[in-house]
Structure formats: structure tokens, C-alpha cells
Structure 1
């Protein structure tokens, strides 16, 4: 360890003060500008290189622009994929519509596109793009086309409302395939889907048994019989007041996926004449 004497220390301090004062004086007269410029020329490239390394290739702004571009492409592809899936559902249901006249040879039918469901989701209905101008009337049955969907409950010139079978306002005469008539009641607002009520005890329905629309009854004017509705679910109970069964029903129709439906306009007119269709509300 080197120890400086008091004299040496005073000498170093004096040299430091003198040097500092000289540099300050030179800087104030801009005499050091060439030296500073030279030092900046040496240091700036190094600091710039470190800045570019930190930002990555292309710089920070380029990274943000690239991220925005990739995000936009992803969103566009997602929207395109959703549109394609929706179009495929429409095409699939249109293909099913091709054989609708063979399914219902004794009835006139009309294909209709689904415009929108109930926006408030408090009622179970949908709006179709066919109305009174196309022959649609109140009370007509609507199918998907393989299964019963619901009834036409409001009609405008070019649109109509179809209330789905699961809505609590809907009742329709129905029966078990193996025997046992009843009344189908919508139960969606009560947390269920549908119930077949007033079923005779001796019908003894089993889970999975098919449920169809039935001919006749005030609730079924305009609704043909034998339209598939769904199957018996779990939890058949006895209504002790009426001494009949209450049968839970699981509908076949996937209501949320409907893009195209079929309105059953009524019996097909015989050759050489027309038949007036009896429908509810007329």
C-alpha cells in the first residue's frame, strides 16, 4: 500500500484544481468541441448497436406493426371459419329439405330461412323469412324437416314468428308411439324442455320411447299427426289429482342450430281443385 505525504497530497490537489479550471475555461470557449465530436463519433455507434439489440430486428415500431398485422390476420381467419361453419349448417339443412315433399306427400310445404331467434331470450321463438304473402298462416306446423319444431304464432306479409314447442305457451296433442295419448306442454321457462301430460297409467312409458304429434284436439288444428317430437326422458311421475302420468320429453330438434325450416301449409290440393287449409286463428 502506497502512502502519500501531506506535501504530495497538497500537490495532487493543486494539479487537479488547475487541470479542472483549465478544462472548464477551454470548454466555455468551445475549444474542446473537436475533441467532443470525436468522442461522440466513437461512442454513438456502440450505444446504437446496443439499442438495436434491445429492440430486436426491425426496431420496436416494426415489432408492434408486425404484431398488429398478425392479429388482424388471425381475426380475419377466425371470422372466415365461423362463416364457413355457418354456411355448412345451412347447406346441410338445405340438403335435408330436398326430400321434404317425399316425407309429406299429402301436404303442401314451404322452405323458409331462419332470420333470428328471440333477442331477449325470455321466449323461445324464431322468425322466418316467409309470411302471409307466401301462404303462411297462424297455427301451421313447422318442422326441421325431420322433427316437429313448433307453431306459427304471428304472421306478417313477408315474415312470421314460430314459437318453439319448448316455450311454456305451447300445447299440442301428442302421443307415445307405443300407445298413450296426452298433451305436450313446453317447460323451458320452468327449467325443463317439455312434458307429455294426462298420459294413462297403463301406458307405462319407458325412457327412450318415441313421442309424436297426434291428430285431433283444439291444440292441434293445422298440425298433422305422426310428426316426431322427441323421446321420453327420465323421471316419469304420477299426477295424483288426475291419476295420470306426467312424462318428461327430450325433443329431437336442436333449436339453436336451425338455419332452415319447413312450414307445412296444409293438405295438398287434389287434382283439379284446391283445399282450404283449416288453421288456428281463422
Structure 2
């Protein structure tokens, strides 16, 4: 006779019977072990401590192994992320290396061309010799003419035409000398004009004094856009000033012509350097 599913009980299946029996046995054994351990902890604490440490000695390696496996599993996502990050960094670095190689090749080409042109033009570098370090005694910062007075003259080897520089850049040139003093024409004087070039692209220009403490930057070429912050340095043309001396910084935008402020301020200087001209006159 068939037995309906509703009438089936736990005892109908031997497998379920064995499972239920085993669970009862485990529960009873656990309760007994717990009771024994409780009594042992009350009646004989040293013995309970020994049992506890023995159990810990058995379970610690298992726990350590499980922790190690868990750490490995947890590190898998980080390892995958690091792998892709390293690949990305490698690709970026390869691109930078390629660009740097191109820049290095270009720089080497420029250096080679520069040497070749110098050899063709028989140009040689000239070192600028310092004649004397002198004190700027006074400067005419408020008059229509812009001069300064140095406390060094012919006795110290100073002659007309020698450049005068400060820590920041060009100040002017000597125009008159006495035994122990020299008169310096400042860059801002209306009679001063210095060949210059723009540092960022080499555009040639003339820095002309305005007589009011400023300069005008006048481009040699046409349609030259001058921007605020453009810095101009000496070119070496004319044989007086060594190339590369800072002269002026543009104040306002202009086309072919713009006002500029001198980088070296004579009124703020205590001492200045008198140097030989780039191509000194005979006897200097």
C-alpha cells in the first residue's frame, strides 16, 4: 500500500534516522564535553588550562592556514588591479621614452648645427672680464636724463664704453670717466639703445630708453606680437654687451612696439660690476 507524502515521517527513511541519531549524539557529546570542561575549570583550573592550551595547539595551525588562504583570496583583486596598473604605467613610460628620444635627437641636431655654423662663420666665444666692483653712489631717477655715478674711474681701469651690470641684469654703460669716478648712461635714458632678443623665440628688437624710468621694445621685424611678461636679453650685436644679459620685461601687449620695465633697477643697487666690452677698443 502506497504511503502519501503527508504521512511520511522522519523515521520512514533509514538515512534520515541515522542523520537524526548522529545529530543527537553530537549534541549530547557536546553537552557532556562542555559540562566536563565546566566542572574541570571549577574543580581543577590547572588541568583545565592544560586542556585548553592543548586544544589551542591543535587548532592554531588550522586557523593560521585558513587565515593564509583567506589572505591569498583577498589579495587576488589587488593583484589583478596592480597587474593592469603596471601595464598602463609601462605603456605610458614607453611613450615618454619615445618622446624623450625624439627631443634628444633634435637637441643633438641643434648642437651639431650650431657648431657647424660657428665653424663656418669663424665665431668664437668671448669671456667677459670683470674690471672692478664699484659702488653706485647716486642715480638721477627723477630727472629727464638717466645717469648714475660710480666710485671707480680710470685709476681702477674703468673706461668709456664698458658695460655696467647688477645681480639681475644690465644697468647701462660707462660714458665718461674721471680719476676715481665714472658716469654711467642708464638703459632708461632717451639716448640709450641696446640690441636685444626675446628669450622664448629669439625675435630681435631694440630696447630704447624713454627717459621716464621705462623702455620701449621696438621689434626689428614687422607684425611681431609682444605680450606681457616677454623677457628680452642682449644679443651681443655691436660689440659692447655680452649676449644673454637680462634687459627688460614687457609690461603691456603691443604690435612691433611695447613698453617694458628694466629688469635691473639702479635705484635699488648698492654695488655694480664694470666689465670689459665684448669687443673692447684698443688699449682697453
In the superposition, the TM-score normalised over structure 2's length comes to: 0.50
Correspondent of 1:184 among 207, 215, 231: 207
Contact 2:128 2:242 in 1 (8 A): no
Deviation at 1:261, TM superposition (A): 0.6
3-state secondary structure, aligned to 1:256: helix
Deviation at 1:257, TM superposition (A): 1.4
- The structure-2 alpha-carbon separation of the partners of 1:186 and 1:279, relative to structure 1 and needing over 3 Å to count, comes to farther
3-state secondary structure, aligned to 1:188: coil
Please give the alpha-carbon distance, in whole angstroms, between the structure 2 residues aligned to 1:184 and 1:169. 11
The aligned runs of 1:200-219 (5 Å cut-off) are 200-201=221-222, 203-217=224-238
Contact 2:196 2:233 in 1 (8 A): yes
Please give the alpha-carbon distance, in whole angstroms, between the structure 2 residues aligned to 1:253 and 1:233. 15
Deviation at 1:281, TM superposition (A): 11
Q: What per-residue deviation string (whole Å, max 9, x for no partner) do you get for residues 231-277 of structure 1?
A: 1220414xxxxxxx11322211222212111111246xxxxxxxxx5
Contact 1:199 1:247 in 2 (8 A): no
| Aligned length, in residue pairs | 158
In structure 1, list runs of 5 or more residues that go unmatched.
1-104, 238-244, 268-276
Q: Which structure has the higher relative contact order (CA within 8 Å, separation 6+)?
A: 1
Please give the alpha-carbon distance, in whole angstroms, between the structure 1 residues aligned to 2:283 and 2:223. 35
- 1:140 corresponds in structure 2 to 162
Correspondent of 1:260 among 254, 265, 271: 271
3-state secondary structure, aligned to 1:133: helix
Cα RMSD after superposing both structures? 2.7
The aligned runs of 1:132-171 (5 Å cut-off) are 132-171=154-193
Deviation at 1:129, TM superposition (A): 0.8
Correspondent of 1:250 among 250, 261, 273: 261
Please give the alpha-carbon distance, in whole angstroms, between the structure 1 residues aligned to 2:186 and 2:282. 16
Contact 2:231 2:248 in 1 (8 A): yes
Which has the greater radius of gyration?
2
3-state secondary structure, aligned to 2:129: strand
Contact 1:118 1:124 in 2 (8 A): yes
In structure 2, list runs of 5 or more residues that go unmatched.
1-125
The aligned runs of 1:1-282 (5 Å cut-off) are 106-109=127-130, 110-118=132-140, 121-177=143-199, 178-189=201-212, 193-201=214-222, 203-217=224-238, 221-237=239-255, 245-266=256-277, 278-279=280-281
